[in-house]
Each structure stands twice: as C-alpha cells, then as structure tokens.
Amino acid sequence: MSFTNFTIENDGDGIALATWDSPGRSMNVIDAKVMDELSAIIDQTTADTAVKGVVITSGKDAFCAGADLTMLEGLSRAFAELAASQGEEAAMMRFFEESRRWSVLCRRIETCGKPWVAALNGTALGGGFELALACHRRIAADNPRTRVGQPEVKVGLIPGAGGTQRLTRLCGRSVSARLILGAEIINGALARDLGVVQWAVPRSELPTRAAEIAARVAALPADALAWSKACIAAAGEPGEDGYRDELEGTRRLLTTKETRARVQAFFAGALQ
C-alpha cells in the first residue's frame, strides 16, 4: 500500500521503517490525512507476521510540529455550526469523536503487540511528542535541532493524546509539570537525562541504532499478547480514567471562546 505522507521500508531483520515526510510542507503536522495513513500503517504492520517491530522517524529536519492549526480551527468552526443547527449536545459528541482520533491512534500503537521505536531526528512538539511517548522506546539525535515538549498551554490547550498520562508515568510529576504546565522545550541530551527519551546519539547513528533497538526489544517477548502486557506493566497502570479525563479537558477547552481566539491568533501570527 502506498502513502502520501509516509514511506514504509522493511529491512532483512523484520523491522519496518516508517518515514514521515509530508509533501509541500516545511514541517510534518497532524491532519486528517496523516491520521488516516498512520491508522493504515498500524493495521498493516500489526497484521504482517514478517514485521517484528516498527521504527518511526521523519524525512525532514524536524520530526513533527504538532497538530495542523487549520484543522483545529476547522474543528472549532464545525462545533459552532453543528451546535447552532443540531444543539450543543450533538456538537459535543461529534467534536469529542473527532478530537480523540490521535489519542486512539497513540493508544493503538502502545497496545498493538509489536514494539515501536520513535527515532527523533529533530523537533517533536505537541501531538508529535505524544506519538513518541506512545512508542515503546525513544531515541533522539543529540544535536541542537532536536527539541521536545508540550507547548499546548500557550494556545489555551492541554495535551490531548495521552501526553499528561504517559509523560507523568515516564518521568514523574515534576518533569511533566515543567513540560506541560511550563511549556518548557528541552533538547535531546536533557530529554535523555530527565528520562523522557532513553538514548541520545549522533544524528548519523540514529537510523541504525533505532533499528537495532527495535530488533532487540522484539526478540524479548514470546508472543504479541505477552509484549503488550509487559509494556503496560512497565509503564504502570493503563490509566484509562486519566485518558478520558484528559480528553474531556481538551474537549472543554477547545469549545471555549478564549481558546478558539488564542488558536486563531497563534495561526495568524504563524502566517506573518
């Protein structure tokens, strides 16, 4: 199967390399088409018995800048239109389902039964960082261009795809508060020191090291079910209530006039 935003290559050891490189964009961002394709990649690699693990990286200088702000603006506009025509309850339900798509994809990666390794060759922010957090291992390029963080608070939002849950379980409340509440952006070396990523290596070593890690981790479990259970146990409790609370908070924020205004202002500034 061919994709617009991704390419998939399989090496001889059963590791699939998914390279994210959206055409016509200076940076990868999350939009509806990207979500559709990532969903298909999860299906494809999970079903293929020849694939033992997956490495996801970027073909651009940055990994992912987060959600496409035009998509967020469109969701807010659609909510207002649906609320006017069918009532706020119907609008809430539709908006909730649309806004939770990335969260569902991240959860599917986490529980798919095969190890995913995020090879962060550059900046990973917002939903892009949440994708990396949903992977079972993270390795970053140790260079000034590699920076990770959750800047959603700057536009009146919170991470909505598991970031509040996974980051806290991974490295504790103090670090997660720095990145989520303080919107702090950190480099690859500091991310390693704080436990956000497991390795920081020279950029030239990133693809090879990531594939080696995926192959090594894939050799550990006896079967997919055992691997999924091991991943969840290693991360702590699944936190389904926490995921729901996070999504509910995101939904509430996205429907406020204040957040819509901040998203629009941020988008307008980005165009200047």
**Which sequence spans correspond to the domains of the chain?**
6-271
The total of other beta-carbon atoms located within 10 Å of residue 173's CB is 11
pLDDT at 251: 67
Lowest mean pLDDT among 71-75, 150-154, 168-172, 219-223: 219-223
195, 196, 202, 167: which is closest to 181 by C-alpha?
167
Confidence of residue 259 (pLDDT cuts 50, 70, 90): low
Catalytic residue among 98, 110, 152, 246: 152
4, 60, 27, 9: which is closest to 210 by C-alpha?
9
* Catalytic residue status for 152: yes
Mean confidence (pLDDT) of the chain: 83
Cross-strand pairs, 118: 56, 138
Q: Helices marked H in 48-137 — which ranges?
A: 69-86, 88-99, 101-110, 127-134
- The residue that leads in pLDDT, 201 or 243, is 201
CA atoms within 13 A on the CB side of 158: 18
> Does the structure show a pLDDT above 70 at 254?
no
Q: In which residue are the tokens 């999970």 written?
A: 46
Q: Is beta strand 147-149 parallel, antiparallel or unpaired with respect to 186-187?
A: antiparallel
pLDDT at 249: 72
> Does the structure show a pLDDT above 60 at 9?
yes
Q: What is the pTM of this model?
A: 0.83
CATH topology of domain 6-271: 2-enoyl-CoA Hydratase; Chain A, domain 1 (3.90.226)
* Catalytic residue status for 130: yes
Report the helix count and the strand count for the chain, using DSSP H and E.
11, 9
Q: What is the C-alpha to C-alpha distance for residues 241 and 7, in angstroms, rounded to an integer?
A: 35
Contact predicate 47/86, CB 8 Å: no
Q: What is the C-alpha to C-alpha distance for residues 208 and 255, in angstroms, rounded to an integer?
A: 44
Q: What is the C-alpha to C-alpha distance for residues 220 and 9, in angstroms, rounded to an integer?
A: 23
Q: Helices marked H in 154-220 — which ranges?
A: 163-180, 188-193, 206-218
Catalytic residue among 98, 110, 130, 246: 130
Q: Is beta strand 6-10 parallel, antiparallel or unpaired with respect to 15-20?
A: antiparallel
Contact predicate 101/36, CB 8 Å: no
